[in-house]
Amino acid sequence: MAILVDEARLDERLARLEAARPWSPRVVSRLEALIRGGDDAALFRVNPLAFAAERGMAEDEAVDLFLHATALGLFQMDWLLICPMCACAVESFAQLRAVTRRFRCPLCHNEYEAVMDDYIAIYFTLSPAIGTIRHHRPEMLDAFDYLFVYKTVREGRAADDLSLVEATRPSLRGLSFLEPGRTTTFVFEAAAGAISGLSTDTDAGFLLPVTGDRSGEPQHLRLSWLGTAYRPDRVEIRPGRVELEVENLTLQRGVLAILQVDPDHEDTLLDFAPYLTGKHLLTSQTFRSLFRSEVVGGAQGLAIRDIALLFTDIKGSTALYQRVGDLNAFQLVQQHFDQLRTATVRHGGAVVKTIGDAVMAAYPDAARAVRAALDMRAAIGRFNQDQPERSVSLKIGIHHGAAIAVTLNDQLDYFGQTVNIASRVQEMADAAEIWITEEVWRYPDVQTLLASYPTEPRTARFHNIDRPMTVLRIGPPDPAAAAA
């Protein structure tokens, strides 16, 4: 059932969204249809990648759409730390600055490092200023929605591509809130293996091993919930009917799910349907432009397993300033920045910063960085054709690997060996040259992208890098190879 919305406010903000940037046809109308026709669940933690797939949109445009909609107050952004074992929404944050580096799942009791590539997911929920959905007040949800919708993410997939809810439902023996000072009774059939009591709100749980012959009589058990633990937390029972009483001795409401665990059960990592990762968002120019105040919290930063970094510089910039004068040279440099930024955005990256005449850009993968580099070189080539007496000589270097997302000088930045190597590779380039590392060359699709370009491998040694590295010079396109 569709929700009630504030029509005047919705119309005003949709009009501003329509004018925010040039959109593909009917993109904003697709979002409007979601808001006007979606039910509570559809408007809670919207996955922009799933939204794009369902509505035939480009993923990057869908992400931009929700970022602009959030900046205009149509949606709220939600940064989640998700457990790869049980799809539990372990922590939820309104801003990146609050995201912590390590977290522990209360459901499966495993600890993880929050890496921007995987365990940090970003969702978008309808703003209460536009319309109210049940999930704005989780305390009003029933126990099932609270545990399986509000406290988990729908992208988690178990065996046979079943959603976590579908996979868990056959094992569910009981689910209820534990009201303060009251006793809740669960009645269920126990099979050989174990009965496990779990909650997404606390590490407290219990285990009832189920062994022996089937009991002919109902088995009566009583446990006490102390908030941080159950007493007792382990009791052996036999297969058969169980009547379990759980007394809540605290002043807080708890939630308890009771699951049948098979004897041969082993914890395994789930598969996940695609979702918007922290890395993807940090390499979005739209995010960096609209949410400039977003910074990484803490002194250690947040880990990224794999990110592609591209550095550019202008060869002979001092001579350029001397040849055309400071004002003209400055204007040329700014125009060249515009060309590089356009190419970066076109290929799904973000300009991290400019350093004098140089640019540092980040991309979610190396193939996008290579596409952007080729685009940059071609764009500057066309730029120079229009003004040969004031040409700009661009140098480009690319590397990919692990990095740390940090805050430097009040802006999002990257730190680590990958950054250093990418910068050094750029320093090897001459005018109109692109240099890449062997790691970039071996990245999926890169060799196909460069099939029409002559490549020249070299061995390089960089300061503070303890091993020689293979780097490749990417020459101008080979007309014969391109024609073939």
**Tens-place pLDDT, residues 81-103:** 999 988 999 999 988 888 888 88
Q: Looking at residue 330, what is its pLDDT?
A: 76
More reliable by pLDDT, 362 or 166 = 362
Average pLDDT over residues 100-120: 87
Q: Looking at residue 38, what is its pLDDT?
A: 94
Amino acid of residue 308:
A
pLDDT above 60: residue 484: no
Average pLDDT over residues 430-453: 95
Average pLDDT over residues 47-72: 97
Find the range with the poorest average confidence among 229-238, 333-342, 475-484.
Answer: 475-484
Q: Looking at residue 124, what is its pLDDT?
A: 98
pLDDT above 50: residue 67: yes
Ordered DSSP codes for 375-394: HHHHHHHHHHHH-GGG---E
Q: Looking at residue 318, what is its pLDDT?
A: 61
pLDDT above 70: residue 483: no
- Which residue bears the tokens 């040259």? 433
More reliable by pLDDT, 345 or 268 = 345
**450 DSSP β-pair partners:** none
C-alpha 366/C-alpha 362 separation (Å) is 9
What number of other Cβ atoms are within 10 A of residue 338's Cβ?
12
Question: Among residues 95, 175, 90, 107, which one has the least CA distance to residue 141?
Answer: 175
- The band of 402, judged by pLDDT with boundaries at 50, 70 and 90, is very high
Question: Among residues 99, 45, 79, which one has the least CA distance to residue 287?
Answer: 79
In this structure, are residues 93 and 121 in contact, taking their beta carbons and an 8 Å threshold?
no
Q: Looking at residue 321, what is its pLDDT?
A: 67
In this structure, are residues 33 and 42 in contact, taking their beta carbons and an 8 Å threshold?
no
Q: Which residues contact 117 (CB under 8 A, 6 or more apart)?
A: 277, 278, 279, 304, 305, 306
Average pLDDT value for the chain: 91
In this structure, are residues 243 and 187 in contact, taking their beta carbons and an 8 Å threshold?
yes
Average pLDDT over residues 16-32: 96
More reliable by pLDDT, 443 or 233 = 443
Note the Cα 9 to chain centre separation in Å.
30
Amino acid of residue 34:
L
Q: Looking at residue 164, what is its pLDDT?
A: 81
More reliable by pLDDT, 74 or 315 = 74
C-alpha 9/C-alpha 27 separation (Å) is 19
- Domain positions in the chain are 7-136, 165-269, 295-483
C-alpha 87/C-alpha 70 separation (Å) is 25
Fold of 295-483: Alpha-Beta Plaits (3.30.70)
Ordered DSSP codes for 55-116: HT--HHHHHHHHHHHHHTTSEEEEEEEE-TTT-BEEEEESSGGG--SEEE-TTT--EEE-BT
Distances in Å between the alpha carbon of 130 and those of 1, 174, 313, 371?
Answer: 16, 36, 46, 40
% helix / strand / coil in the chain, to the nearest 5?
35, 30, 35
